[in-house]
Amino acid sequence: MNSNLPFQSQNLSGWGRYPSLTCRVFRPERGRDLDALAGVLPRGMGRSYGDAALDEIGGVAIMPRMNRLLAFDDEDGLLEAEAGLSLAEVGDLFMARGWFLPVTPGTKFVSLGGAIAADVHGKNHHVDGCLSRHVEGLELLTVDGNRHWCSRTDNPEWFLATIGGLGLTGTITRVKLRLMRIPGPWLKVQHHAAPNLERVFQMLSDSSVTEPYTVAWIDCLASGKNLGRSVFMTGEHIEANRSGGDLLLGPGLKVPFDLPSWILNPVGLRAFNALFYRLQGYKTKPFLSDFDSFFYPLDKIGSWNRIYGKKGLIQYQCVLPEACSFEGMTRILEAISAAGAASFLAVLKRMGDSGEGMLSFPMPGFTLALDLPFRGESTLNLTQRLDELVLRYGGRINLCKDACLAPASFRGMYPKFGDWLRIKAELDPKWVLNSALARRLQLDRGL
Amino acid sequence: MRKTLILGATSLVAERAALKLAGPGASFVLAARDLEACRAAAANLGLRTGARTQAMAFDATDTSSHSAFLDRVIAFLGGLDLVIILTGAMGEDPASLDPRIALPILQTNFIGLVSILGLVATQLETQGHGSIVCAGSVAGDRGRQSNFVYGSAKGGLALYLQGLRNRLSAKGIRVITMKFGFLDTAMTFGKRGIFAAASPEAAGTRLVNALDKGSDIVYYPGFWRLIMFIIRLIPEPIFKRMKL
């Protein structure tokens, strides 16, 4: 592309550190810098895992300096901000005023624009949907250099192609997001031990659970009768203070678990996962947790992705439709367990409605996410086997975490890809705006 | 609370310095040529700190507008306690012999500032209190073939500020010259020959600290004071043959 803006050549990767590519990096500081970068792939905070925010040909525009607050309505919680603003900053700035993100992913080091382009979800997906559900609108800088307001009423198709569109429809420059009123920074959390997969499915599906946040940490190294052994966790915002009233601040739950790096070997991992199950699963009483510990346990460990070494990791996240979820997850967990490939606890979660975006990941059913330390060919073979299972059960892979999916499998998983392509052709017929992910999945070749 | 005018308010150093200075009750006019970027900076400052903020357009080269501009600033703020000037631009070639390129560099970095600084100084002198912080550059410490047009503007500005400091000190009015070395901004990002670039946050903090301390001329990062001291010591017969 164009642009007289200075750039730096950097070796870049996603959070999984695989793959790694040398890209030209642009760093806009204000609105008119962005105009010069129309057609360059936007990259938020680099927390997508694979190759979604890499472009070794056109370069990437990183957004940490486009983080200004533009407006906030204290009555209805409507926040307008530049898209480089991080969720961490939103939390820090608005928690004290009684507002919080209506949906948050498992890390707060994500930009608003990146969160929308990846159509992220959180522990409350089954009730509150994706973050994008709470986005009133966004400004899209398209390849031709024009800016367009996109929402459910203005340019609705462009809006739906941009949500989950992985930055390929243009640069999200401004966002209007409705925050949620909360009573304070505290959550009431409860853990339940689930000795096997069947039990954790029951817990995740239990309609009498009223807490909006539910998730299960699952031990992917367990097998046989222990397959799917999990700790099911629920959480809800409550009015409390540090003394907690009836609730005690969970001991050791400032960080729910400490993660020493020496644990990264097969024996250590197995022991760690088993210990976690014992300690966390048998906390019978509800306890008090601050929002950072509850929503972002891994953020406290800093660059935890580095413990997998230079080769990095693949974060494998799939979702399977409700009806065949149990059978499918059993097969998937068996395959992972047999390969002895998983490391730390994985996350199992029930999902609600399908995402609105044409390339949104969520669908009603269950989603599993886990880290696979990257070991070259054997890891790629495993993900390919898993992809086949996911396809067979009618599920899909989360693109913002993916680094391995094959073009044909992608097409089998994303039925609205044709709609998305039509919009892409409208906005960028020559595929000026591209990414390593788009090339890998051959998105420009059409259906 | 403090009433502050910032010129060149869309520079990242200005934005960060303003965040350090601001708090509920403080008020700011953020001015620069790019009014839209000023509006974003002003909204951001107000929402993050609770300060009262206003964006205004300011063009250093349009000197005929300066008097009316300052009147509007003072009307909004209800007074004037602090003026921070961070305008400036290298231009397309900071060592050009082409008058069409060289003269605008002087307009932006020197003549325009002499205009607004004079008006500001008159105001502060009349009211008998206030402070001025103005960005110079290490480029103004010695004429070098790589940037001497820009450098001469900054050097002239430094002399002007020195004289102004001399005049206003009797009234207790501070004039601080900030001499920035490399900062990690769009001006230096990815360029060759840049080393130890300081973050705009740190530069903004240093600027605010200079107000609290008694400094007159501040080099930031601080080691530039030593570098420029040495460069100034080199005898001209040797210096003229050097490539700097």
User: Quick check: bond before B221 cis, omega within 30?
Assistant: yes
Predicted TM-score of the model (pTM): 0.93
**Distances from the Cα of B121 to the Cα of B7, B111, B129, B132, angstroms:** 15, 15, 10, 8
- On the CB side of A242, how many CA atoms lie within 13 Å of its CA? 1
pLDDT for the residue numbered A248: 57
Domain boundaries, chain A: 8-62, 69-182, 186-240+247-411
User: Quick check: bond before A19 cis, omega within 30?
Assistant: yes
Binary contact (A65, B43; C-beta < 8 A)? no
The amino acid at A359 = L
- Cα(B244)–Cα(B240) distance, rounded to whole angstroms? 10
Q: Rounded to the nearest 5°, which phi and psi values hold at A371?
A: -90, 135
% of chain B with per-residue pLDDT over 70:
100
Q: How confident is the model at residue A426 (pLDDT cuts 50, 70, 90)?
A: very high
Exactly one of B150, B160, B219, B220 is catalytic; name it. Answer: B150
How would DSSP label each residue in chain B? Answer: --EEEEESTTSHHHHHHHHHH--TT-EEEEEES-HHHHHHHHHHHHHHH--EEEEEE--TT-GGGHHHHHHHHHHHHTS--EEEE------S-TT---HHHHHHHHIIIIIHHHHHHHHHHHHHHHHT--EEEEEEEGGGSS--TTTHHHHHHHHHHHHHHHHHHHHHGGGT-EEEEEEE--BSSTTTTT-TT--SPBPHHHHHHHHHHHHHS--SEEEESTHHHHHHHHHHHS-HHHHTTS--
Instruction: Point out the least confidently predicted range of A281-290, A366-375, B42-51.
Output: A281-290
pLDDT at A263 over 80: no
pLDDT for the residue numbered A428: 97
Across the range A354-380, mean pLDDT stands at 94
Residue B151: both structure tokens together: 């450098």
Q: Is residue B75 part of a domain?
A: yes
How far is the alpha carbon of A32 from chain B, nearest alpha carbon, in Å? 8
pLDDT for the residue numbered B154: 95
Q: Name the β-bridge partners of A133.
A: none
Show the CA angle centred on residue A244, arms to residues A238 and A247, nearest 5°: 85
Of the candidates B10, B12, B43, the beta carbon closest to that of A69 is on: B43
Residue B129: both structure tokens together: 């209190």
Range of B104's domain? 3-239
Instruction: Point out the least confidently predicted range of A38-47, A80-89, A284-293, A365-374.
Output: A284-293
From chain A, the residues in CB contact with B38 under 8 A are none
pLDDT at A439 over 90: yes
Q: Exposed, middle or buried, B193 (CB in 10 Å: 0-12/13-18/19+)?
A: exposed
- Cα(A246)–Cα(A137) distance, rounded to whole angstroms? 41
Instruction: Point out the least confidently predicted range of A190-199, A246-255, B152-161.
Output: A246-255
- CATH architecture for the domain at A69-182: 2-Layer Sandwich (3.30)
Residue A25: both structure tokens together: 């990096």
Q: How confident is the model at residue A244 (pLDDT cuts 50, 70, 90)?
A: low
pLDDT digits (tens, 9 = 90+) for A128-138: 999 999 999 99
Q: Which residues, including other chains, have CB under 8 Å from residue A21's CB and lie 6 or more apart?
A: A11, A12, A13, A51, A54, A56, A436
From the list B73, B145, B142, B149, the residue with the least C-alpha distance to B109 is: B149
From the list B139, B123, B141, the residue with the least C-alpha distance to B131 is: B123
pLDDT digits (tens, 9 = 90+) for B35-80: 999 999 999 999 999 999 999 999 999 999 999 999 999 999 999 9
Question: Chain A contact for B159, CB < 8 A?
Answer: no
Q: Is residue B244 part of a domain?
A: no
pLDDT at A256 over 70: no
Place of tokens 């000190």: B169
pLDDT at A78 over 80: yes
How much is the mean pLDDT over chain A? 91
From chain B, the residues in CB contact with A27 under 8 A are 186, 189
Q: What is the ipTM metric for this complex?
A: 0.92
Q: How many domains does chain B have?
A: 1
Burial B123-159 (b: 16+ CB within 10 A, else e): bbbeeeebbbbbbbbbbbbbbbeebbbbbbbbbbbbe
How much is the mean pLDDT over chain B? 94
pLDDT for the residue numbered A320: 98
8 Å CB contact between A42 and A172 = yes
pLDDT for the residue numbered A259: 54
pLDDT digits (tens, 9 = 90+) for A8-35: 999 999 999 999 999 999 999 999 999 9
Considering only residues A249 and A409, tell me which one the structure prediction assigns the higher pLDDT: A409
| CATH number for the domain harbouring residue B174 | 3.40.50.720
Q: How confident is the model at residue A304 (pLDDT cuts 50, 70, 90)?
A: confident
Question: Chain B contact for A72, CB < 8 A?
Answer: yes
Evaluated on CA atoms B32, B33, B39, B41, the torsion sign reads negative
- Cα(B182)–Cα(B13) distance, rounded to whole angstroms? 12
* Record: fold of A186-240+247-411: Vanillyl-alcohol Oxidase; Chain A, domain 3 (3.40.462)
Binary contact (A31, B189; C-beta < 8 A)? no
pLDDT for the residue numbered A242: 62
pLDDT at B207 over 60: yes
Q: Is residue B130 part of a domain?
A: yes
pLDDT at A245 over 70: no
From the list A215, A308, A301, A302, the residue with the least C-alpha distance to A269 is: A308
pLDDT for the residue numbered A251: 44
Considering only residues A304 and B201, tell me which one the structure prediction assigns the higher pLDDT: B201
pLDDT at A45 over 90: yes
Q: How confident is the model at residue B190 (pLDDT cuts 50, 70, 90)?
A: confident
Instruction: Point out the least confidently predicted range of A252-256, A296-300, B177-181.
Output: A252-256
pLDDT for the residue numbered A229: 92
How would DSSP label each residue in B200-236? Answer: HHHHHHHHHHHHHS--SEEEESTHHHHHHHHHHHS-H
Question: Chain B contact for A96, CB < 8 A?
Answer: no
Q: Which residues, including other chains, have CB under 8 Å from residue B130's CB and lie 6 or more apart?
A: B80, B81, B82, B83, B123, B124, B173, B174
Question: B interface mutation test: which of A9, A29, A40, A176 has the most B CBs within 10 A?
Answer: A29
Instruction: Point out the least confidently predicted range of A145-149, A225-229, A230-234, A261-265.
Output: A261-265
8 Å CB contact between A181 and A165 = no
Active-site residue, B219 included: no
Place of tokens 């250093």: B60
- Cα(B216)–Cα(B238) distance, rounded to whole angstroms? 31
8 Å CB contact between B85 and B8 = yes
Across the range A292-304, mean pLDDT stands at 83
Residue A312: both structure tokens together: 């990095």
